[in-house]
Amino acid sequence: MMINTGRIYLEFKNGKRVSSSPDIQGLPTWDRLDRIGNSHWVRLVFCGAYIAIYLWVSPPLWMYALLPVHFLMGPIHGAFVNWCGHKYGYRNYDTGDQSRNTFLWDIFFVGETFQNNHHKYPNRLNFATRWYELDLGYPVIWVLSKLAIVAPR
């Protein structure tokens, strides 16, 4: 699944695929920032920053084995959210796909594992829809919008 996701991402990145979603149309693009963010040098700088933090904090030697997890945190997070969000959990809505909510894990993923809710209401800022669900990312977005840092549509 993640290899296919990576292939699709590269197709978008290289202009070989265009989104048909009306939500994407009209969004700004920042080609220079995308090129910088996708460069190997930036990735190496971030890896160096993680190593520097480890050296500064001086954790026990065995913790240095966690560095590869830090280097790959984005893909690991994405794989977990997308795999578990379509394989395990419960469904609040019949969305015509296999999306699910994995509530027990969501405390670690700040609302991202409410996939079924997200597929039902993709433009909603708060992915929690039941009284017992808690989207911890939503209060952050709310505060940022009140500070005029972001402007939700």
> For 65-87, how does the pLDDT look when each residue is reduced to its tens digit (9 = 90+)?
999 988 988 888 888 888 878 88
> For 91-136, how does the pLDDT look when each residue is reduced to its tens digit (9 = 90+)?
999 988 888 888 777 777 787 888 889 889 988 889 999 998 888 8
Statement: residue 10 has pLDDT above 90: no
Task: Kindly state the percentage of the chain with pLDDT values over 70.
Answer: 95
Statement: residue 146 has pLDDT above 90: yes
Domain spans, the chain: 2-38+72-146
pLDDT at 24: 67
Statement: residue 62 has pLDDT above 90: yes
- Range from 6-15, 54-63, 124-133, 139-148 carrying the lowest mean pLDDT: 6-15
Locate all alpha helices (DSSP H) within 19-147, ordered by sequence: 31-37, 40-57, 67-71, 73-87, 106-109, 115-120, 137-146
In DSSP terms, 114 is beta-bridged to 101
Contact 100, 89 (CB under 8 A): yes
pLDDT at 35: 85
In DSSP terms, 90 is beta-bridged to 101
- Which are the contacts of 42, defined by CB distance < 8 A and separation ≥ 6? 36
Helix-, strand-, coil-residue percentages of the chain, each rounded to 5: 55, 0, 40
Structure pTM? 0.64
Q: Please return the burial class of 10, using the count of CB atoms within 10 Å of its CB with bins 0-12, 13-18 and 19+.
A: exposed
